[in-house]
Amino acid sequence: MNAVDISIRRTALESDIPRVREIMASSGFFEKVFDEFDCAESELRAAVCGEKGAETFLFAEVGGKTVGFVSYERQACCEALYYLDWIAVDNSVRGMGIGKVLVGEMLSDAWANGAQKVLLQTSGRPQYLPTRRFYEAMGFSRECEIPDYYSPGEPSVFYSIYNPDFKIPAEGKSCG
C-alpha cells in the first residue's frame, strides 16, 4: 500500500455529481442496467440541496481531487441503526487505504451520533468477493444472504457491525 495524504470533505457539492458517476464507473462494480448510477445521483442531489432526511456523504480527496465517497443514513423507524448505502473509490487509487479511511470516518460519525449498529448490503456475485473481504477486514459480520435479490441468481449479502461501546443486553438478541 502506498502512503497517501487523504483528506475528508463533509460537504456535498454540485460538482460532486459527475465525479461520483466517474468514480462508480471506474470501479467496474456498479451496473448502469440496474440504475445504480441514477440512484446514487438522486441521493447526492438531495444532499447537495440540503433536503431533510438526505443521506450524509463523505468525500475522500487526494491532492485536491475527489477520489472516493461513502454515504450513509440513520435507518428510518429504528432507534439506533445506521445504514451504509454507497461506497466507491476511483480505480486509479484502489489499494491505498482510501476505502478504509472512508468507512472509518463513517463509523466514527455514526457512533458519535448514537448508532449502536451499522448495516450494509452488497452483492453475492463472485466479482464482489474482494468487497465482502474488505467489509469483514473492517470488522463487519455477515448476517444473512437473500437469494435472487438483485436479479435471478444474484444474492444480496447483509453485513453489520456493532458500536464497540454498545453492550448487548444480557438476554441477547430477541424479536419479541
Task: Output the pLDDT for position 41.
Answer: 87
Taking each helix axis from N to C end, the angle separating 16-27 and 36-48, rounded to the nearest 10 degrees, works out to 150
Task: Output the pLDDT for position 27.
Answer: 85
Task: Output the pLDDT for position 33.
Answer: 55
Q: Is the pTM of this model over 0.95?
A: no
Q: Which residue type, as a one-letter code, is found at position 96?
A: M
Q: Mean pLDDT for each 10-residue chunk of the chain (176 residues)?
A: 82 94 88 76 90 92 96 90 96 94 97 95 93 97 94 94 81 48
Task: Output the pLDDT for position 174.
Answer: 46
User: Which CATH number does 6-162 carry?
Assistant: 3.40.630.30
Task: Output the pLDDT for position 53.
Answer: 85
How many CB atoms sit inside 10 A of residue 137's CB? 10
Extended beta strands in 10-162, E state: 56-62, 65-74, 81-89, 117-123, 141-151, 154-162
d(C-alpha 99, C-alpha 91), whole Å: 11
Q: Is the dihedral of CA 26, 55, 125, 117 positive or negative?
A: positive
